[in-house]
Structure 1
Amino acid sequence: MKKIMCLILTVLMAFSLSISTTYAANVPMKEVIEKFDGNVEEKNVVKDSLLKSGMQPLKYLIKFKKDFKVIQNTDVSSEEDLILGQPYKVVDFPSPTLDNNRACFEGFINGEKVIDILQNAPYYYEVPVLTKKNNTPVSSVQLKKENGVWEVTLYPCYMDPEISYIVSQPEKVVELLKSLGIETVDKYMLVNLNRGYDFLYTLSDNKEYFIPLEKGFGTELLKVYTRDQFQAIFAPLMEKVLRGEELPTGGGVANVSKNDNKTVNIKNNNEIIYIALSFGVIVAVSLIYIVRNKIKHKTL
């Protein structure tokens, strides 16, 4: 009987350890996003580099205000009327036509997880530009590291200023993902494909989800796509690129896929299952212990 009790207790301990490991892995979404989004020190360097840039993007946003769609309708008249938001990281999906790197496209076509494909991919930062008066997002500036120095490389950026402002703040990204039915995130990335098509990427319960941050390639803005749906759209386009053709700049391919792109609810109920099973094991062990004591008492 002692052997049986030891075996049960060993199983219970192992099971409890498994539960603890599961809970440890269930990191809050905000922390996952913050972990991806770069360290504070690097962000400060990026922001400082923008302010000291010889290109003076804030000054030129004002000087050519009439040419920029969003900022032209505001009452800002000086760069002093503008402030910078928080820099956020964007991972570049290497394209063979630009980077001579076939491995990333080939990996996607062959079904490799995007988180693995882009593990060591280059990245850059975008910084939202807001009005000082009421924090209205009006533009954004892109910075890339060139020869060890963060340099302004593009402004205004392709992304809509309002969306750019949202993705710069982890708490707002969490709100966005939850509004789309995504309740848990194990891995997160903001990815740019083809110099003008951005999307959010999450890995949740070993399933990949893609959320376009702009229209293009037949996808809809802020729609949740499964890996199969995203694969059906982009794998054929990537195959064309590998054959020597170019992707349209920034997307623009309409009706490439007719998949039913419904929002996917991936709320994780594993916690409830583990608690129920754990409780059941504890009750079983307790009953065995009680019965064993009764039998022992009768024999005495």
Structure 2
Amino acid sequence: MSRSRIGGLVQAVAGETQSDPVVSVRGLVKRYGSHEAVAGIDFEVLRGEIFACLGPNGAGKTTTVEILEGFLERTAGEVSVLGHDPATAGGTWRERVGIVLQESEPEPGLTVRESLAMYAGLYRAPRDIDETIDLVGLTDRTGALATRLSGGQRRRLDFALALIGDPELIFLDEPTTGFDPSARRAAWDVVAGLRELGKTVFLTTHYMDEAEYLADRIMVSSAGRIVAEGIPQTLGGRDKLTTAIRFTLPGYVDVRDLPSALYRLTEPGAGGSTVVHSDSPLEHLQLLGNWALGRGFDLPDLDVHRPSLEEVYLSLAESASTKDQR
């Protein structure tokens, strides 16, 4: 775990932070006719953390964000963002909020620096323009026309425009959709850097690796409902799921020769391998290694697999879908 992630978690569990949520939602509902896009959800976002809302398309993520941003009226529930109801908050409140939409177009005819200067003029106390450009990694493109930037560079400009007003809270709605792997990683570095600035970030995404890499806490949504919430390491009971220890025994060794403590946990794996499902992987790895070495052979394809966030997410989504069908 990175030092910045540890710092974020320390902030998230501090008493002062817990008593001052940046976002507080109770019983939030949004209906479109008979369709319930958001079905009575409750959650809080704490100051200084990166909070990710993870879910597939149609989960209600963008609807929730647009309500929190004050762009969409809710059907029911209570919402507080930076101590105000976004449905009635004024211009002073909006200066405290930065937004990166799923899609946006750069200002035609303006360079990167000119775009930042124009937006900076809308705020009473904007950030330094050149410092902001440097923060998002566009220093070598300062004089380039915004319309001629690559897709990844345009996204960096979007981040810069969201930051120029020096907001306390930043909404990132699926900020890397359609990016190639390199551009996604570059965007992640920018987002992670926001934590170092003391910003609070509300991130929506359908990428499991993105949520795991960036978020201090994750909320999983499905069909407008919250199906799980927690830190990436323990989300959905991930820390309590068994670890799969996979290996291939030499042809002259029978799986029944394994120590009984391991044999009773085995099942056949792909390609003639053996899988041990362990809730004590360190203990069982040591037992397996000592047993193999004591018999004079190695296990060169030994693999230890802890349940990934994607596997946990798919399990949660499947469970939620099953409940909805009942």
Q: TM-score, normalised by structure 1?
A: 0.25
Larger radius of gyration: 1
* Structure with the higher fraction of residues in strand conformation: 2
Larger RCO of the pair (alpha carbons < 8 Å, separation 6+)? 2
* Structure with the higher fraction of residues in helix conformation: 1
Q: TM-score, normalised by structure 2?
A: 0.23
